Chain A
Amino acid sequence: MPKDTRNPAAAPPAGGSGAAPAPHLPAALPISVNGKPYFHEGDPAMPLLWFLRDSLRLTGSKYGCDNGQCGACNVLLDGKAVRACSLPMSAAANHAVTTIEGIGATNLHPVQQAWIEADAIQCGYCQSGQIIAAIDLLKRKPRPAEDDIAAIGNVCRCGSQPQIRRAIARAAELLQGGKK
């Protein structure tokens, strides 16, 4: 397994009064991200979001809050949508994570296609998390009812919900068409 050499979490503490010998380092945690294997050697309590963003520089997963309230950080963990900001590396380890960068990397995923068609973008900051939530929903419920859509916990500050609703409907169509 190649090691992530850019992982700043693995760097020794420097400067200040923290220069005392580091306590015994936690064991490196293996994790698969977008099909590639990595290790995390820092604090096992570090949320997955910061590993993705700061260590791997996969910045498509966004920071919007600190406690699972907004959904901007959504990623797929073994295919299910989870909040990367609320998942410590100790829990994410040994699982397969797919971020927005790993979805439709070569060809757009039908949900991404639907998002473009519906122009479900204003500032766009929440949208990678919305797309992950929709992928997860449409996998479970190919024809989602209003209650299923209402159950999506993602927020959008810009008020793009009308376009998101259209995008979900369109994505459901595209996914069903694809199966025919």
Chain B
Amino acid sequence: MTASFDAGRRHFLAVSLTGTGALLLAPVLRAAPLPNVPAELLGEDFTGLGPFLRIERDNRIVIGAPACEVGQGVFTDLPMIIAEELDLDWSQVRVLQLPYGGGDGANPYGRQGADAADAAARTFLRHAGANARWLLLQAAAREWNLPAESLRTQAGEVIASDGRKLSYGALARSAASITLPAAPPALKSTAAYTIIGKPIATADAREIVTGACRYGIDHYGAGALLAVIARCPLPGGSLLRMDDSKARKVSGVVDVIELPHSTDAPAVAGIAVLARHSWAALQGRALLEIQWQPAADTSESSSALIAAAHAALDGKDGGIPVRSDGEPLRIRKQPARHRIESRYELPFLAHAVMEPPNALIEINQDGARLVAAVQDPDGASQWIARLTGLRRQNIRIELPRGGGSFGRRLDNDYVAEAVVVAKAAGKPVKLMWTRSDDLQHDRYRPLGVHALAASLDRHNRISAWSHRCAATPVDARTPNAGLLEATAFPAGFVAHLQQSFHPLSTHLPLAAGAWLDAFRTFAIESFIDELAVVSRQDAVKLRLTMLEDAKAPATVNGVECTRLAHVLRRCAARIDWRTPRTDGRGLGIACHAGGGGSFAHAFEVAVEGGQLRIHRAVCVADIGTVINPRNAQEQIAGATLDGLAATLQQAITLKDGRIQQRGLQDYPLLRLGLSPRSTEIEIIDSTDDAVDPAFASASAGPALANAVYAATTVRVRKLPLLPELMRLL
């Protein structure tokens, strides 16, 4: 249910933010300039710097959703927080997407790039609800001439101790004339929650299943030209020459523009084709004849990078030391019962959001309007200001629903490109990326090889551990950041532990994010499984022995031992770990602590008729306080299947300096057939800080590979798993 209100309706309540950060509810003059407030929240009487709320006389309530919805559930979950503190009945609520509220000053909507796990954003929204509730209570107290302390609120009404009731709708007007106290009204205790913690369905579900919901790509803009860009396929390359005569002859093509090469913009070298509709733009682009000037080296390839990684790991140079506990070389010197070494190869990955990037931009002398799903609207606003010279307060950004992000929409490269094209064209522009643009011009997850070695003592405990990683750094200044840091498991759990890093160089732009956890965890959790197999011990028990060692402190390098042990035990119980499987089925398990959360995955798989079948998937997650358990379940399931899909099928490969993947035939996204027949998610009850559920993806991949080993005795150490498994079987 999204709101569709007559903007002329008069009576509503506006909560706004003062310069000191306090929220305030106040009538403001009718003619005040309000570039960033949607008409549906305004009405005619009142305005504010940033209203989240509109309360109608008939007690219908509109709540503004501040962050861009890309599938993480914020469109539903963030308004739930306001509704909770305001004591509403969720069925009264309609949700409306707010535009970006920032500009030169403070943003009345708070941090709009925030996800639902952002503690500061949650607190901000709680105060927005609590303040409005306080004002409504005061208004009722005046009306009845009773002390406000004697009143309570429930389901959109103020209730007196004698049972009299007034709806918020009836009180909104007078509440708007009351001033908030200097000290913010108290927040609810979590025990009193009636909305937070209840499973609530996606607020705009109906719009989505009927095709009415408009994503970024569904916005056309009056008179905007459709633009696609031919970008240099060689990372870092530039344009040598081009002939656009054929492209210009395509019916519907309006212009072809060579983009000014700028080191300022995050955009790459390219040629924009502008047309009246998508097909003409695509046809025109296909007919461009272009010669690109490569950057220095065009020989770069994934296979050479992997070979270089192995060479570095084989060489004498010890690489960048990351951590050294106990005695070095212990693994080789110490007489040990078992001593093994394994290497794991991981390819580049792309975000491959379902809705490829796009942006609609209108620029004129006085201002600009951007319509795009962006998760860093602050950054987008800064780019537009920088590229146009406009003041940020005159830049309006609307945030339509976006088809996925996984971190992709934190980058504003497509916004900057759209601005550059629109400026050059002197017209409004809707820039569209095709699927091949998306696969070829992303920022990628790093490629690398992990070399792990360990020994076990005669009690079958891991006595020494060595982790060496050769990979392409995201940031050359801190090469091992995210890839192999000194906190990487099992640092702190093993007395003799060495970690080192060898940076490899690539022209490809790379990105950090939760997927770096998966990059590392695949190797670590596969290797622990290998140790369990070699030493013939139970893979769950081996992990629990480390986590539950009485001498270990409660938290070791960010791993909360009790929480991680708990999710692991629950996961093992749910998949019925102790019951041996027959019929060629195998079980695999893995766990991971990341982003403040604890996760465990287990899979039951078999190879049947030459095909991998995933019969069951279980994930147990401790992600702190959950606003909406229904969404949390979906997010954890989504992260699980993300980890699974990436592990099974996905790789971006470089050859002769180019990315080879051009479409989904080369970079498969998950189909129903390969998805688990049953997926069970268990979320641990918790009042701890909320955690981004994306971190759940990391343990899915190794749990799956471990299950594949159990089912087939084939240990896959090179991703993507599926082609490698078929080769080895």
User: Which of B51-59, B171-179, B574-582, B668-676 binds A?
Assistant: B668-676
Q: Is the CB of B675 within 8 A of A165?
A: yes
Give B contacts to A, CB under 8 Å. Answer: 69-71, 73, 201-202, 205-206, 208-215, 217-218, 220, 226, 245, 248-256, 276-280, 283, 352-356, 401-406, 432, 434-436, 630, 634-635, 637-642, 644-645, 663-665, 668-673, 675-679
Residues 109-128 of chain A: 1 if any B CB is under 8 Å from the residue's CB, otherwise 0? 00010011001011111111
The 5 lowest CB-CB distance pairs between A and B, nearest first, are A60-B211, A159-B641, A125-B403, A123-B71, A150-B673
* Closest A residue, CB atoms, query B664: A69
| 16 further interface pairs, Cβ-Cβ under 8 Å (given A128-B209, A159-B670) | A8-B277, A14-B254, A43-B251, A43-B280, A60-B211, A63-B432, A69-B665, A72-B354, A108-B210, A119-B201, A125-B403, A131-B209, A155-B671, A157-B352, A157-B354, A159-B638
Instruction: Give A127-168 interface residues, CB cut-off 8 Å to B.
Output: 127-128, 131, 146, 149-165
What does DSSP make chain A's interface, helix, strand, loop or mixed? loop
CB pair B354 A47 closer than 8 Å: no
* B-contacting residues, A76-127, CB 8 Å: 99-101, 103-105, 108, 112, 115-116, 119, 121-127
Tell me whether A11 is interfacial, beta carbon within 8 Å: yes
Q: Which residue of B lies closest to A61 (CB)?
A: B211
Minimum CB–CB distance from A130 to chain B (whole Å) comes to 9
A13 CA to B276 CA, complexed, in Å: 9
| Residue in B closest to A168 when the chains form the complex, CB atoms | B672
* Max count, chain A CB within 10 A of own CB: residue among B251, B280, B435, B644: B251
* Residue from the list A59, A119, A131, A155 in contact with B664, Cβ < 8 A: A155
Which residue in A9, A50, A67, A162 is a CB contact (below 8 Å) of B675?
A: A162
Tell me, rounded to whole Å, the shortest Cβ–Cβ distance linking B722 to chain A. Answer: 15
Min CB distance, A177 to chain B, in Å? Answer: 19
> In chain B, what residue has the closest Cβ to A53?
B278
B251 neighbours in A (Cβ, 8 Å): 12-13, 18, 22, 42-43
**Cβ contacts under 8 Å, A12 to chain B:** 251
Q: Specify the chain B residue showing the minimal Cβ separation from A146.
A: B677
Instruction: State in angstroms the CA–CA spacing of A42 and B354 once bound together.
Output: 28
Contact B226 A125 (CB under 8 A): no
* A101 in complex: contacting residue of B206, B211, B254, B279, CB < 8 Å: B211
In the assembled complex, the Cα of A58 lies from the Cα of B210 at a distance in Å of 11
Instruction: State A128–B209 Cα separation when bound (angstroms).
Output: 6
Q: How far is the CA of A149 from the CA of B671 in the complex (A)?
A: 10
Assess the B634–A64 pair: CB atoms within 8 A: no
CB neighbours (8 Å) of A152 from chain B are 671-673
Distance between A133 CB and nearest chain B CB, rounded to angstroms:
9
For residue B533, give the distance in angstroms from its CB to the closest CB of chain A: 29
Given A15-B254, A61-B211, A123-B401, the answer on whether A156 and B354 have CB atoms closer than 8 Å is yes
A residues neighboring B (CB under 8 Å)? 8-9, 11-18, 20, 22, 42-43, 46-47, 50, 53-55, 57-67, 69-70, 72, 99-101, 103-105, 108, 112, 115-116, 119, 121-128, 131, 146, 149-165
Asked whether, in the complex, the Cβ of A125 is within 8 Å of the Cβ of B404, the reply is yes
Q: A67-B663, A70-B664, A108-B209 are in contact. Are A15 and B255 (CB under 8 A)?
A: yes
How far apart are A113's CB and chain B's nearest CB, in angstroms?
8
Question: Which residues does chain A contribute within 8 Å of B644, judged by CB atoms?
Answer: 159
Docked Cα-Cα span, A125 to B405, in Å, equals: 11
- Residues of B within 8 Å of A154, CB to CB, are 671-672
| B664 partner residues in chain A, CB cutoff 8 A | 64-65, 67, 69-70, 155
Contact between chains at B401 and A124 (CB < 8 Å): yes
Q: Specify the chain B residue showing the minimal Cβ separation from A150.
A: B673
Return the contact of A119 from the options B214, B634, B677 (Cβ within 8 A). B634
Does A161 contact B672, Cβ atoms closer than 8 Å? yes
B279's partner among A43, A69, A116, A162 (CB-CB below 8 A) is A43
Residues A16 and B255 in contact in the complex (CB < 8 Å), given A157-B353, A157-B404: yes
Query: How long is the Cα–Cα vector from A104 to B434 in the complex, in angstroms?
Result: 30
Query: In the complex the two chains form, is B671's CB within 8 Å of A64's CB?
Result: no
Q: Would A122 and B71 count as touching, CB distance under 8 A?
A: yes
Residue in chain A with minimal CB distance to B69: A123
CB within 8 A of B672: which of A20, A58, A108, A149? A149
- Interchain CB contact under 8 A, B209 and A116: yes
Measured in the bound complex, the distance between the Cα atoms of B221 and A59 in whole Å is 14
A-B contact pairs, 23 of them (CB 8 A): A9-B276, A18-B251, A54-B279, A63-B278, A64-B664, A66-B436, A70-B664, A100-B209, A121-B209, A122-B635, A123-B355, A123-B403, A124-B401, A128-B208, A128-B209, A146-B677, A158-B638, A159-B641, A162-B641, A162-B675, A163-B637, A165-B672, A165-B677
* Most B-side CB within 10 Å, residue of A8, A112, A127: A8
CB proximity of A79 to chain B, nearest CB, Å: 18
The residue that B208 contacts in the complex, of A8, A18, A127, with Cβ under 8 A, is A127
What's the Cα separation between A123 and B671 when bound, in Å?
Answer: 16
Q: CA A70 – CA B438 in complex, angstroms?
A: 14
A65 x B435 contact (CB < 8 A): yes
For A149, list chain B residues within 8 Å (CB): 672-673
Nearest-CB distance from A21 to chain B (Å)? 12
Residues in chain A near residue B276, CB distance under 8 A: 8-9, 11, 14
- CA distance in complex: A17, B647 (Å): 49
Cβ-defined partner of A123 (8 Å) among B210, B404, B434, B642 = B404
Shortest distance between the CB of A89 and any CB in chain B (Å): 9
- In the complex, the answer to whether A16 meets B256 with C-beta atoms within 8 Å is yes
Closest CB-CB distance, B723 to chain A, in whole Å? 18
How far is B255's CA from A73's CA once the two chains are assembled, in angstroms? 28
Chain B residues with CB under 8 Å of A18's CB are 248-251, 253
Contact assessment for B435 and A66 in the assembled complex, using a CB-CB cutoff below 8 Å:
yes
Residues in chain A near residue B354, CB distance under 8 A = 62, 64, 70, 72, 123, 125-126, 155-158
Given contacts A123-B70, A158-B404, A161-B641, contact A11 B252 (CB under 8 A): yes
In the assembly, what is the distance between CA of A53 and CA of B279, in Å?
A: 11
Kindly state the separation between the CA atoms of A9 and B253 in the bound complex, as whole angstroms. 10
A143 to B419, CA, bound (A): 51
Beta-carbon contact of B637 and A162 below 8 Å: yes
Give the complex CA separation of A12 and B280 in angstroms. Answer: 12
Report whether A62 and B630 are in contact in the complex, using a CB–CB cutoff of 8 Å.
no
Residues of B within 8 A of A22 (CB): 251
Contact A123 B672 (CB under 8 A): no
Supposing A18-B249, A50-B278, A125-B404 touch, asked if A65 and B663 sit within 8 A by C-beta, the answer is yes
Give the residue among A105, A159, A161 with the most B Cβ atoms within 10 A: A159
Cα distance A160–B205 when bound, in Å? 14
Q: Report how far A124 CA is from B209 CA in the complex, Å.
A: 8
Q: Which residue of the partner chain A has the closest CB to B681?
A: A162
In the complex formed, the residue of B with least CB distance to A167 is B209
Within the complex, what minimum Cβ distance (angstroms) separates B581 from chain A?
A: 19
Residues of A close to B665: CB separation below 8 A:
67, 69
